[in-house]
Amino acid sequence: MIERAIKIGTRKSKLALWQAEYVKALLEQNGLKGELVLIETKGDKILDRALSKIGSKGVFTEELEDQLRNGDIDIAVHSAKDMQASLGDDFELIAFTEREACHDVFVSHKKGFTVDKDKEFVIGTSSVRRVAMLTKHFPNAKIVDVRGNLQTRIQKMEDGLCDVLMLAYAGVHRMGYNDMIVHEHPLDTFTPATGQGCVAIESATNLDPEVRSAIRKAINNEKTEVCLKAERAFLKELQGGCSIPAFCLATWTADNELKITGGLAQANTEEIRYTYTCSPDEVESKGTQIAKDTLANGGAEILAALKNS
């Protein structure tokens, strides 16, 4: 029995706090105590540059890892999507919460705004994946960069920056903005980024094994964990963080197998995509295979071009 409170490190944005409170509630439902520790990261401070320009690796995680390393916090709570594929040797992801709906949506402050492929309208997003996919599926739309937390982005939209924002349903739902959703994108065309819709728990590898296993038992969803293993193996092989136009989604089939689809999107042209179905113990090798196929068939050139831009 663990008597002391588990120290839960989190960023200060409303979405991050919601996720940390959610994790705290899961701990408490399982007889553990939790306490939030609020930490500011570089990604929260730098709002005037596109994320892809800061070099996104670790911008939302570095300060949290410093405190994990020195034991000021036991765990750090992250959107799984924001986690780079390769952590430092002294860190690991020890649990994944049950994934919620993981598709992308358009939200708008304009009541009754209708999305029409043939119409000109302005979309706000700062994700290279979404930009690339949008140029293909909404060729008449204009895309503008928008940074900041969800509340800031909505304010910028209301101030006239754009007609709609493209966001993950999960974040919109957690923040209570469902009534602003004007369009839901299908998963097969706008396949989400690795880990979208799932909350990941990071710890230092030197965390007390008893504490580690109690946290894992309280929080980890095994079905989601298998999906995340596939998607993160894919991302690792691409050596990517959230600044490349990669997408990957693993889902369970009716026969208890995994369907994994992933690849790279490219602006104004066809994406590169591979899909495999496999058993749960093969997900990492198949996720890696999808990345290898992608790289060998034009993906390496896409990534090289991005590096030089």
**Residues classed as catalytic:** 81-82, 129-130, 147, 153, 242
In the chain, what is the straight-line distance between the N-terminal and C-terminal CA atoms, in Å? 54
Selected range binding ligand PBG among 74-82, 175-183, 257-265, 279-287, rule: CB under 6 A: 74-82
Q: Least distance in Å: CB of 20 to ligand PBG?
A: 13
- The C-alpha atoms of residue 64 and residue 37 are separated, in whole angstroms, by 10
36 binds ligand PBG (CB under 6 A): no
Selected range binding ligand PBG among 62-70, 78-86, 225-233, 279-287, rule: CB under 6 A: 78-86
Selected range binding ligand PBG among 77-85, 111-119, 286-294, 296-304, rule: CB under 6 A: 77-85
> CA-CA-CA-CA torsion for 45, 46, 52, 55, nearest 10 degrees?
-80
Residue 26: phi, psi to the nearest 5?
-65, -40
Q: Closer to ligand PBG by CB, 241 or 299: give it.
A: 241
83 binds ligand PBG (CB under 6 A): no
Give CA separation, 155 vs 13, 81, 119, 158, in Å.
15, 24, 24, 5
In 3D space, the residue among 180, 173, 291, 183 whose CA is nearest the CA of residue 240 turns out to be 291
According to CB under 6 A, which one of 197, 245, 262, 299 is a site residue for ligand PBG?
197
In 3D space, the residue among 177, 173, 176 whose CA is nearest the CA of residue 164 turns out to be 177
Q: Closer to ligand PBG by CB, 9 or 295: give it.
A: 9
According to CB under 6 A, which one of 58, 171, 245, 287 is a site residue for ligand PBG?
171
32 binds ligand PBG (CB under 6 A): no
Kind and range of the H or E element at 8? strand 5-10
Q: Least distance in Å: CB of 214 to ligand PBG?
A: 24
43 binds ligand PBG (CB under 6 A): no
- Residues in Cβ contact with 210 at an 8 Å cutoff, skipping those fewer than 6 apart: 2
Q: Least distance in Å: CB of 166 to ligand PBG?
A: 8
Selected range binding ligand PBG among 63-71, 133-141, 155-163, 164-172, rule: CB under 6 A: 164-172
Q: Closer to ligand PBG by CB, 150 or 218: give it.
A: 150
Residue corresponding to tokens 């008597």:
3
Q: Closer to ligand PBG by CB, 167 or 214: give it.
A: 167
- The C-alpha atoms of residue 232 and residue 84 are separated, in whole angstroms, by 9
In 3D space, the residue among 191, 68, 172, 175 whose CA is nearest the CA of residue 129 turns out to be 191
Residues at the contact surface with ligand PBG, assessed by CB under 6 A: 79, 81-82, 167-168, 170-171, 196-197, 242
